[in-house]
Amino acid sequence: MTVCGLRYPVSRILELMASGMSNDEILADYPDLEADDLAAALEFGALAAGRRRVLPFDAA
């Protein structure tokens, strides 16, 4: 699975996040990505881990 319209694997984005890189650092290293792409990668990861739906933090 890749980020929509790009060739970056979602798994790579999740690995970068898990390694401790901040969103700003990732966006600086991958200028084709946008903040929404990072949020979508996290949502995909949560859904792939077995969650049936994902709620934003402020919706809880």
SS3 2: strand
57 pLDDT exceeds 70?
no
Please indicate, yes or no, if residue 2 is contained in any of the structural domains. Answer: no
Range of the domain at 41: 10-52
Give residue-wise pLDDT tens across range 3-51: 777 888 999 999 999 999 999 999 999 999 999 999 999 988 888 888 6
Q: Domain tally for the chain?
A: 1
Q: Are 33 and 26 in contact (CB under 8 A)?
A: yes
Question: Residue 37, exposed/middle/buried by CB under 10 A (0-12, 13-18, 19+)?
Answer: buried
Please indicate, yes or no, if residue 60 is contained in any of the structural domains. Answer: no
Please indicate, yes or no, if residue 15 is contained in any of the structural domains. Answer: yes
Please indicate, yes or no, if residue 48 is contained in any of the structural domains. Answer: yes
Question: Following DSSP, what letter does each residue of the chain receive, concatenated?
Answer: -B-TTS--BHHHHHHHHHTT--HHHHHHH-TT--HHHHHHHHHHHHHHTT-S----GGG-
